[in-house]
């Protein structure tokens, strides 16, 4: 059984406490990281140490514990960082995909609009107007969205810019937006 402390269990300039002592101290520490004076005295007596030594031991032990905790937190942070980085990457890709889609939509819709208007088609004017507005909306937003370093200053025509909370991590309620998606004004997109 661990033939280490064999020889010097007696005196000498012994510094390290014996395994027995350590084990006992650890056991108490598990329950009481900061024992009462009375307890320390009893421990000292039982282990053949000075009460002060016991006190110091607990002090050092607490410091060690804290140090390890810090280490753990560091690792946690690192892990969280990696996770977040991965997610962020996904978001970027997705954003790119969405932008591509929008671009395609705009071009096609524009072409479509051109065909409609040049035909002097009088049926369903309102509907055409909607499409027209939609396109200009897309164009407007695009200028912002395509720019580098967009600071989440995304101009959302459906909502007040000020209502965009910055860093609270809150998700915008899409359903609420939907309620006022299309204002009554015929040219709402121009505002």
Partner DNA sequence: TTCTAATATAATTGC
Partner DNA sequence: GCAATTATATTAGT
Residues numbered 134 to 173 that lie near a copy of itself (CB under 8 A) are 134, 137-138, 141, 145, 150-152, 154-158, 161, 164, 166-173
For every residue of 106-136, DSSP letters joined together read: HHHHHHHHHHHHHTT--TTHHHHHHHHHHHH
Q: Cα-flanking dihedrals φ and ψ of residue 35, to 5°?
A: -70, 160
State yes or no: residue 60 binds DNA (CB under 7 A): yes
**Alpha-carbon gap, residue 188 to 109, rounded angstroms:** 19
The 3 state secondary structure assigned to 43-64 is HHHHHCCCHHHHHHHHHHHHHH
State yes or no: residue 63 binds DNA (CB under 7 A): yes
Among 14, 23, 50, 52, binds a copy of itself (CB under 8 A): 23
Residue 11 CB neighbour total at 10 angstroms: 6
State yes or no: residue 185 binds a copy of itself (CB under 8 A): no
**28, 35 contact by CB (below 8 A):** yes
Among 19, 20, 23, 37, binds DNA (CB under 7 A): 37
Among 41, 53, 113, 140, binds DNA (CB under 7 A): 53
Q: Which stretch binds DNA (CB under 7 A): 51-59, 72-80, 89-97, 174-182?
A: 51-59
Binding site for DNA (CB under 7 A): 4, 13, 15-17, 22, 34, 37, 52-53, 55-60, 62-64, 66
């Amino acid at each position: 059984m661990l033939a280490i402390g064999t020889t010097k269990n007696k005196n000498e300039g012994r510094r390290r406490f014996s395994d027995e002592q350590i084990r006992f101290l650890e056991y108490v520490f598990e329950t009481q990281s900061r024992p009462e004076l009375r307890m320390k005295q009893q421990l000292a007596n039982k282990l053949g140490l000075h009460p002060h030594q016991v006190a110091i031991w607990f002090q050092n032990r607490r410091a060690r514990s804290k140090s390890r905790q810090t280490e753990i937190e560091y690792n946690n942070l690192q892990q969280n960082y990696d996770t977040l980085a991965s997610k962020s990457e996904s978001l970027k890709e997705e954003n790119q995909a969405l932008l591509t889609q929008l671009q395609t939509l705009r071009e096609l819709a524009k072409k479509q609009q051109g065909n409609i208007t040049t035909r002097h088609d009088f049926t369903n004017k309102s509907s055409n107007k909607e499409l027209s507005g939609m396109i200009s909306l897309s164009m407007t937003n695009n200028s912002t969205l395509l720019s580098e370093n967009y600071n989440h200053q995304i101009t959302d025509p459906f909502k007040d810019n000020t209502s965009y909370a910055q860093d609270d991590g809150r998700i915008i309620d899409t359903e609420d937006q939907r309620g006022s998606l299309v204002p009554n004004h015929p040219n709402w997109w121009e505002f």
